[in-house]
Chains A and B, each alone.
Chain A
Amino acid sequence: MNTNIEIPALARVEGEGALYIRLKDGKVAEIELNIYEPPRFFEGFLRGRHFQEVPDITARICGICPVAYQMSSVQALEMALGVTVTPEVYALRRLLYDAEYVESHALHIYLLQAPDLLGYESVLSLAEVAPEVVKNALHQKKIGNDLLKAIGGRSVHPVSSCVGGFYRWPRKMQIQALIPDLEWGLEAAIETVRWAATLPYPDFEILDYIYVAVHHAGEYGILSGNILSSKSGQIEPVDFEKHYIESHVRHSNALHSHTASGQVYVTGPMSRVNLNYEQMGPAARKIMSEIGLKLPIRNPYKQLLARAIELVEVHEEALRIARAYDPQGPSHANVIAKAGEGFGVSEAPRGLLYHHYVLDDQGMVRHARISPPTAQNLARIEADLWKLAPKVIDLPQEKATLECEHLVRSYDPCISCATHFLKLKIEDL
């Protein structure tokens, strides 16, 4: 191949982006992951809003992972307001988050990334030759959506979460009714791992990844915890902005992240599985051992496999919480407006999501700062492409293009999220 790779509109990603790889004298000269998704200025119009409006507003940053935005924001605001939630609220939040993982991961594994590995342009084409595989995938995805609906009223932008807990407990009957589906889903997830282990991932590894993920000593780190780096250990959410810096590059409407010492890092399923496998439950650990998975995962294409393992983990956790669900007492804390500052982190399906708010004495937002996972991963994706491109430029154009596009897709980038805020100065390259 001796021409440039140009993908003016990336398909099967959330949001709008383009990829350009330019060659000069047969060598890769320029790589540009161009994010042209329009900025929507969320952090600007959060100012002046009441704290209880924030989770509903931030949900709209992303239709694929609204629960992540709600959970990072309510936890940051609860810290600002000095509120502690009950163990029952915490458990139901984990269940709600598990539901979002099932929906989002099933979507990405089967509908967005698998067509690349199986040689189809979409799941719709795949369905023409293997309808049973696709029906099974859609059924798995639906279980996540049904659980989201049972807890939150609807699957996209659910309405039940508030600062302090939930507006109302879902009825016990509604949750229990989903247990047989979750039991089926757990088995289907285990089969998904077995299948994912056989897929023909491109042979490509990055040896110097810095993995970063939320880490919780007592559970698989999704809802809350500290921030753990494979290179520099743990920090608390309050110190995030000191250790992880964002800067703006000209070709992108999103910010690029790096550590305080200037290194790019990766967040998402690969980091979570690599850093938090010890906190996984027996089902996920058993299937990892069955397929003989060696950690750390270093092949970014294998993020599909990491997602499949997480599907097992979240199903097992969801079953545990759903079986024990028997809410007693108030569904939310009594929250009194006051001035304060708070920080919240959680793991969106595609990676670490950090929120920071300052409230005035009436509980109105004075300052908001949100760092979404895809913005953190963009610099890492470009770095991966710099490693990949020289290996593929000798392939036929179509195959080279597909390998690059597939690499981007394997990160499950949510470009809508990445550009929702934009405030730093533009820096010329």
Chain B
Amino acid sequence: MSKPTIAVYKFSSCDGCQLSILNLEDELLALAGAVEIAYFLEARSRMLPGPYDVALVEGSVSTPHEAERIKEIRRQAGFLVALGTCSTAGGIQALRNFGRLDDLAWAVYDHPEYLHALETSTPISEHVKVDLELWGCPVNKYQVAEVVASLLQKRRPNLPNYSVCLECKRNGNVCVMVADGTPCLGPATRAGCGAICPANGRGCYGCFGPAPSAELPALVPLLRSLERHPNETFHLLRYFTGYAPAFRQAADKLQKEVNA
């Protein structure tokens, strides 16, 4: 039986999530033995033709070319995984979606038509069907390995649905919000990073996106009461995963309240 084929693609991104695959130093050669890495531009020159069993897609859709390219990749892919926060929520570059591109960046170009950039940076799921979303800025490399292993074993991947708070408790971190009064988005953020920000004495900044259980109406007033600089809560919500619906809506609501 031939090995399952995997293709890795880059859209608008920093390359960090693809790098997480190469950072699987102890597992990389076993991975390359278990699957056929058929297309991975950052790692190899050889490109085998599609279709591929699995496509791992890093990055957001932010240009007209990318909006077309993702459709072709979807056609070639049996199972499509959105890899990391750019591909699941538009990434940090989705800050342009809140009217800022017009206000700031667009205004400095004489010839914006040369830029070939869309007005928005959007998640892959706004363009094609996505079979699995893996969050994180960057993704946790062990979650990437888990996803590939689960596909090989034809089972559901074991990925957390709970919030960073649970990881904190499990790791024995002292709560930075309770103990130090540091604003922390951990109660509303999806686990997966290992609660590394609280472990480093700072608040979570939401780079794994909103947890399915996020209770922002309860959290936002608490964050507001702890702000250390103007609009800190608004900035926390409108950050690396600010275009994810739960954070987007909470930020919009907060903005309306402040302006009212």
Interface, chain A (partner B; CB < 8 A): 9-16, 36, 38-42, 44-45, 47, 49-50, 52-53, 56-57, 60-64, 66, 107, 111, 115, 121-125, 127, 131, 134-135, 138-139, 141-142, 145, 152-157, 159-160, 162, 166-168, 250, 253, 331, 337, 362-364, 414, 416, 422-423, 425-426
> Which of B16, B65, B96, B200 has the most CB atoms of chain A within a 10 A radius of its CB?
B200
> Which of A38, A131, A138 has the most CB atoms of chain B within a 10 A radius of its CB?
A38
B29 on the interface (CB 8 Å rule)?
A: yes
| CB-based contact B193/A14 at 8 Å | no
| CB-based contact A125/B44 at 8 Å | yes
Determine the distance from Cα of A157 to Cα of B197 in the docked complex, in whole angstroms.
11
| CB-based contact B15/A14 at 8 Å | yes
**9 A–B pairs (Cβ distance < 8 Å), ordered by A:** A9-B41, A36-B65, A40-B93, A44-B101, A44-B104, A60-B16, A111-B43, A141-B23, A155-B23
| CB-based contact A167/B202 at 8 Å | yes
Taking the closest CB of chain A, its distance from the CB of B125, in whole angstroms, is 19
Residues of chain B lying within 8 A (CB to CB) of residue A40: 12, 62, 92-93, 121
- Interface segment, one of B111-119, B155-163, B211-219, B247-255: B111-119
| CB-based contact A41/B101 at 8 Å | yes
| CB-based contact A153/B16 at 8 Å | no
Determine the distance from Cα of A66 to Cα of B137 in the docked complex, in whole angstroms.
12
| CB-based contact A160/B92 at 8 Å | no
Number of A-B contacts (CB under 8 A): 179
| CB-based contact A134/B29 at 8 Å | yes
| CB-based contact B95/A63 at 8 Å | no
Residues of chain A lying within 8 A (CB to CB) of residue B11: 38
| CB-based contact B43/A156 at 8 Å | no
Query: How many positions in chain B have a CB within 8 Å of any CB in the partner chain?
Result: 65
- Interface segment, one of B49-57, B72-80, B126-134, B228-236: B228-236
Determine the distance from Cα of A131 to Cα of B115 in the docked complex, in whole angstroms.
44
B19 on the interface (CB 8 Å rule)?
A: yes
Taking the closest CB of chain A, its distance from the CB of B171, in whole angstroms, is 12
Q: A47-B104, A124-B37, A141-B23 are in contact. List 15 more A-B contacts (CB 8 A).
A: A14-B42, A15-B10, A16-B10, A40-B62, A50-B232, A50-B235, A61-B14, A63-B13, A63-B138, A64-B15, A154-B194, A156-B20, A167-B200, A331-B201, A426-B109
B26 on the interface (CB 8 Å rule)?
A: yes
Whether A49 contacts B43 in the complex (CB less than 8 A), given A40-B93, A41-B96, A159-B196, comes out as no
Taking the closest CB of chain B, its distance from the CB of A290, in whole angstroms, is 28
For window 10-38 of B, CB contacts with A under 8 Å fall at 10-20, 22-23, 25-26, 28-29, 32, 37
Whether A38 contacts B66 in the complex (CB less than 8 A), given A64-B19, A156-B23, A156-B138, comes out as yes
Determine the distance from Cα of A11 to Cα of B46 in the docked complex, in whole angstroms.
9
A-B complex: 6 closest residue pairs judged by Cβ atoms: A63-B16, A122-B44, A153-B196, A168-B201, A44-B105, A142-B25
For window 195-246 of B, CB contacts with A under 8 Å fall at 196-197, 199-202, 205, 207, 229-230, 232, 235, 239-240
Determine the distance from Cα of A131 to Cα of B111 in the docked complex, in whole angstroms.
51
Residues of chain A lying within 8 A (CB to CB) of residue B138: 63, 154, 156-157
Taking the closest CB of chain A, its distance from the CB of B61, in whole angstroms, is 9
Whether A124 contacts B32 in the complex (CB less than 8 A), given A45-B96, A60-B137, comes out as yes
Residues of chain A lying within 8 A (CB to CB) of residue B45: 11-12, 115, 121-122
Residues of chain B lying within 8 A (CB to CB) of residue A53: 235, 239
Whether A45 contacts B109 in the complex (CB less than 8 A), given A64-B16, A125-B46, comes out as no
B179 on the interface (CB 8 Å rule)?
A: no
